[in-house]
A and B are shown apart, each in its own frame.
Chain A
Amino acid sequence: MAVTQLGSKLFLAAFFATSLTCTRATFAQAYSSSDATSEFTVASLPDAPSALLEQQQQPSQSQPQQQPPAQKPTEPSLSDLGLSNKPDPDLQARLDRHTQMLKIHQRLGLITLAPLAAACISSAAAPPDPRNGGGNTVGRDIHVGLGSLSVVMYGLTASYAIRAPKIPEGPVKGGIKIHKYLIWIHAPGMVLTPILGAMAFSQANNGEKVHGIASAHAAVAWTTVASYTAAIVAVSWPIKL
């Protein structure tokens, strides 16, 4: 009987001790989650003036701040959501380089349109006279010069896109998809056009009528220019696919 009474007393003592601990914990939680209490507590600390001043200096309307506010224990965190804000400086550097090189690619691509258009216009003076095989040799030389400049500029433009760091991405979407498909037309065209042009030039200079595969020079050139222009429009025009 005495043992039972002692056991009951011990149990009650342990119970009240537990209750007291829980009460203190609950109080501490309420204490930490109350703003007014927190400010009072912070103000009573030695380093409080600087903390309060920092709070007062924070603008209230749409002002970006570098330091995020301190997180309270009850606030959800990114880890609760299964997300991480871990930076990837290497990827950021590659993105910066990627953008920088593609901007140059874009500028050079637009600049290349000028010699390309000029080469197209000057092509009118390039063919030999069908009656005697002669014709405007100066006009032909100008066309050859502009065509060569176009090819060099095109190569330079392409090199910036090719050398740009690759960014891991999913399936390609939007205008860039067409831009990339059109490479399969204008890139071979840019190789083939000067070759056919050189053959045509040689035949014309020999007083021959342009014949054989060289006679496709103009058609290949126009197809190349058309696909090149379409490639620019594809990434410039508001097209959604």
Chain B
Amino acid sequence: MKITLLATLLLFSPLAFTQSPETWLLTQSTLSYHMSHPVHQVDGFSHGARGKGVCDAGTCEFLVAAPVKSFDSGDTNRDEHMIQVTRGADFPVVSVRFRLPESAINSPTLDCDLDVQFAGNTAHYTHIVFQQTIQGNTHHITGTVPSTLTDFKIPPPSFLTVPIKNEIPVKVDSTWQRQ
């Protein structure tokens, strides 16, 4: 009788109701920036991003980060210059933080407010829409962040005295898995 009582108490105790936070992991990703110049159109790709999301109390906090040096434009010289101009040795990681209501996790479109830390500066982007397709526990998310050089106070590199365009859109193609 006493054992039954104890078991019942344990079962309905607050301990039993305490849920561990749900975790999401970025399993695969491609980030690419596009740079425009009158004589050059360049795309730099990174497959080195890592990401994690933690859902707790109805809110999911996500962090995606990639080493600046992991971006590859296909030209060593250009990549070195990119790292120099973005102060990639002083700030070796570009990171993106965003928050989503847990109820929106399975929506086909995700409306995110992003905090992007890059080159020693943080830019805030509101209502960036990402497309999402879901297959079981795997969520495939794509979208574009409309970043610019001025957002991060990056002096525009120039070629033949002509600077590159201020707009550096970053395409995101990522696959997340619920743990």
Contacts and interface: CB of A to CB of B under 8 A. Distances in A.
B63 A80 contact: yes
B50 interface: yes
Contacts of B124: 58-63, 65
B179 interface: no
A19 to B, nearest CB: 5
Given A33-B57, A83-B50, A78 B78 contact: no
B62 interface: yes
Contacts of A84: 92-93
Nearest to A69: B115
A95 B91 contact: no
Interface stretch (A23-31, A145-153, A211-219, A223-231): A23-31
A83 B67 contact: yes
A232 to B, nearest CB: 11
A68 B96 CA distance: 11
Contacts of A177: 76
A132 interface: no
A135 interface: no
Given A91-B89, A173-B76, A235-B77, A81 B121 contact: no
Interface in A73-127: 74-78, 80-89, 91-92, 95-96, 98-99, 102
B92 A167 contact: no
Interface string A228-241: 00000001111011
A68 B115 contact: yes
Size band of the interface chain B makes with A? 35 or more
Contact of A78 (B2, B6, B40, B63): B63
Given A76-B62, A81-B50, A174 B74 contact: yes
**Residue from A18, A62, A89, A176 having most chain B Cβ neighbours under 10 A:** A62
A169 B84 contact: no
Contact of A8 (B2, B63, B97, B121): B2
Contact of A83 (B21, B81, B93): B93
A11 interface: yes
A57 interface: no
Contact of A76 (B42, B52, B59, B123): B52
B45 interface: no
A56 interface: no
Contacts of B90: 87-89, 92
A44 interface: no
B40 to A, nearest CB: 5
A217 to B, nearest CB: 33
Nearest to B72: A173
Interface in B97-117: 97, 115, 117
Interface of A: 8, 11-12, 15, 18-19, 22-23, 26, 29-30, 33-34, 58-69, 72, 74-78, 80-89, 91-92, 95-96, 98-99, 102, 167, 169-177, 179, 235-238, 240-241
28 contacts: A18-B15, A19-B13, A58-B124, A62-B148, A63-B124, A64-B121, A64-B122, A69-B122, A74-B56, A76-B52, A78-B63, A78-B93, A81-B51, A81-B63, A81-B65, A85-B91, A85-B95, A87-B89, A92-B84, A92-B87, A92-B88, A92-B90, A95-B80, A99-B81, A99-B85, A169-B76, A174-B76, A175-B77
